[in-house]
Structures are given as C-alpha cells and as structure tokens.
Amino acid sequence: PGGFDVDAVRRDFPILQERVNGRQLVWLDNAATTQKPQQVIDRLAHFYQHENSNIHRAAHELAARATDAYEGARDTVARFLGAASSEEIIFVRGATEGINLVAKSWGAKHIGAGDEIIVSHLEHHANIVPWQQLAAEKGARLRVIPVDDTGQVLLDEYRKLLNPRTKLVAVTQVSNALGTIVPVHEIVALAKAVGARTLVDGAQSVSHLRVNVQALGADFFVFSGHKVFAPTGIGVVYGRRDVLEETPPWQGGGNMIADVTFERTVYQPPPARFEAGTGNIADAVGLGAALDYLQKLGLENVAKYEHDLLEYATHQLAPIPGLRLIGTALQKTSVLSFVLQGYQTEQIGKALNDEGIAVRSGHHCAQPILRRFGLEATVRPSLAFYNTCDEIDHLAAVVKRLAHRR
Ligand code: PMP
C-alpha cells in the first residue's frame, strides 16, 4: 500500500523490534490491544518525572501541572470525537466500565418494567452482559438485531424491532470478532425516530475510522484507550450534555461532590459527577498523547492504508485450501477471523507463536456471534497501521504450510 510511510511509523513503536522465539515479533493482535508509540511512553515518563500530583484539590504548583495535563487530555479527547464540549467527556477505566456506568446510572433511572433494550448479534460481551443484568433487575426485555451470512446487521429486521417500548439501542460500530463496520448512523437515526436513547461502542472503531459524535448523533459513545495506542486502564464515555444532565451519579466519593453533610450531598455537574475518587491521571495524559499522535498521522491516511492491507491479507488467506473466513461483509475493517479444516484454533495460534506471530485464538468475548456461524472459536489476526504486507506474507506462509500438512 502506497502513500503511507510504514517504515517511519514502525520506528515509533519500540516493541516491534522485540524478538519472540528467535523471530522478529509480528503483532497481529491489535483488536485485543495495540502497541504504544515512544511518544506515549515518553509522555508517561514526563508526567511522573515533572508533573505527578493529585488533581483539583491542592493549591500547589504540581497540582496545577497535573490538573492542566489531565484537563488538557480531556480537551484532546473532546476534539478527537468532535464533541461540543469537554464537559461531555468522562474518564473511566475502559469501554467495559463505560458501558457499566451508563447501565448503572442512566439505565437504572430510565429503564423500567416492560421496556426494551436493543443490541446487535455482533456485540462484545461488554455490550451484552450489563444490559442483560439491567433487564433482569427491571423486568425489561433485551432484543437482538440479527445479522446476515456475511456478518452484517439486517436493518430491515432492526426496523421491525423498534417500537414505543424501545428505550435504548446499544450497538458496536465495528465488530471485534469479524471486523464488520456497522451502519451506526442509520441505526441511531432510526432509534431517535421512536424516541429511544443510543449508545455506540467505539472500542474497535476509533483506531480505524474518523468518528464525529455530533454527526453520529448518539447519546453515549464509549471507547478504551489501550486499543487506540494509549495505556491500559483509561477509557472514555462521551455523553451529550442534555443526556448527562438527566443521568444520576453511579459511584459516590470525593471529587464528584459540591457539598456534603451527613444529611445530604450536592453533586458536581458533569463530568466530575461521574468521576468519584482519584482517577487514572497519568494514563489519561497518555491517552491525550496517543490521540495527538494519531491525529498527526491522519485517520484518513490510516484508514486508506489499513483498507489496502486488509484487501491484501484477504487475498492471501482466502484461497488457502480448507480455510474458511468468517465475516465477509462489504464494509469491514482490520479483522480476519478464520478456521482451518483439521485444526483446533489453539493449534494454529501456537504454530504462529512459534514463528513470532501474535494472533488471538478463541471466542474473542463475543460468543453469540461465533455461534451464529456454528463456531466456538476462530483464529483472529487483527491489523493496525504499523503492520506490513511482509508480515501478512509470513502469516499466510505459516497457515499455508499447516493447510498442506493436513
Ligand atoms: N467492546 C468491544 C467491541 C471490544 O472489542 C472490547 C474489547 N475487546 C470491549 C468492548 C471491552 O473493552 P475493554 O476490555 O477495554 O473494557
């Protein structure tokens, strides 16, 4: 793929020089987590060397530096997502905690007996279990948008599910198991037409596609830092201002209060209302650095490069005898899920690891969608912009060898 200097980009990621089993590491487990550029590693070190303090509460120089760095990262996230204001950005631990926050605060207040919550068949367990728990607690009903044989959601079936009892539609923008790009703009617009709130799980999308939450129109949007070249333990909930205003706090403690007596507590406005206790300050700052890095590369350049790389990889893998690709939607990004006749998925994962190639094999925390295809597990190479055609050739060569040894 041309027009993108992948060699230069790779030099920013020191771990890509790592050797595994005597071979240079080939990191094709990007849907599980991404590697970190030196710029992010340096930013974390700088924070701990020059800025470390708790934020907001103390009136001294380092508290001011740490607060500026943390709030600066919030501004960066707001710009990255196209939010109207930084006050719509809540820092959490990751997408999982973000979805749980929405379920346990907004959901607990607004979902009642007989209400309906819609998810898609593609969801990660993180966007199924919290809604199932909420539905069980409230006597609400969880409904599922089916998918076709390519792994794309069926919009006509979705239309049939919508009705005045629909209170929330929660869908992923990109499937972590298949790479399907879900038409979330249409899904959100149709939900709005029946007065339902919407949550979009951006865990797998923000590293591959330009997102603008205002154009999307979703009420909530969540993602995890570690899947977008930032540290683990930091993630984001975007909530539109008016929706956050109608959302009660979930955890109580310091930082989220305006005033406390033993009789009552007055809460802060959003976002502080949703950030009880000391947050993950350093990693939020690291997230800001990762998003700056990605903005500099240009998400459009990244998307084009990854599109070509996915095409290349698909053409290398698809013709291998006995190989079945799972997830063949026209709109897809950066994930190749497959099974190979005569092999358990773990055997393939192990054979690849012997060659220094890291892929995930298993159910990818998305059992319902794999079972839709009659499977309990797949092998899942997943791409990022620092992967190369040479790496794909290496992957394909190992899989081919296995196929012919069968
Ligand atoms: N949703 C999707 C689509 C995901 O791929 C993941 C992570 N695999 C999650 C949610 C959960 O993210 P985390 O584990 O970082 O909270």
Spatial distance between the Cα atoms of 124 and 171, rounded to a whole number of angstroms: 9
- The mean of the pLDDT values for the chain is 97
Q: What is the ipTM of this complex?
A: 0.99
Position 2 pLDDT exceeds 60: no
C-beta of residue 105 within 8 angstroms of C-beta of residue 274: yes
Question: How confident is the model over 116-159, as pLDDT tens digits?
Answer: 999 999 999 999 999 999 999 999 999 999 999 999 999 999 99
Task: Determine the atom of ligand 1 nearest the C-alpha atom of 227.
Answer: 15
226 Cβ contact partners less than 8 Å away, ≥ 6 residues apart: 33, 34, 94, 232, 233, 234
Which is nearest to 227 in space by CA: 9, 384, 12, 31? 31
Q: How far is the CA of 336 from the centre of ligand 1 (A)?
A: 17
Q: In which band, very low, low, confident or very high, does the pLDDT at 58 lie, cut at 50, 70 and 90?
A: confident
C-beta of residue 127 within 8 angstroms of C-beta of residue 80: no
- The amino acid at 279: G
Q: How far is the CA of 364 from the centre of ligand 1 (A)?
A: 10
User: Given this model, what pLDDT does residue 56 score?
Assistant: 79
Residues whose beta carbon lies within 6 Å of some atom of ligand 1: 94-96, 124, 126-127, 172, 176, 201, 203-204, 224, 365
Angle between the 281-297 and 38-46 helix axes, to the nearest 10 degrees? 150
Position 1 pLDDT exceeds 50: no
Which is nearest to 383 in space by CA: 292, 274, 302? 302
In this prediction, what percent of the chain has a pLDDT beyond 70? 99
Q: pTM of the prediction?
A: 0.97
Question: Annotated catalytic, 365?
Answer: yes
Q: How far is the CA of 193 from the centre of ligand 1 (A)?
A: 28
Spatial distance between the Cα atoms of 291 and 96, rounded to a whole number of angstroms: 20
Average pLDDT of the segment spanning 374-392: 98
Domains for the chain: give ranges and CATH numbers: 6-30+298-405 (3.90.1150.10), 41-296 (3.40.640.10)
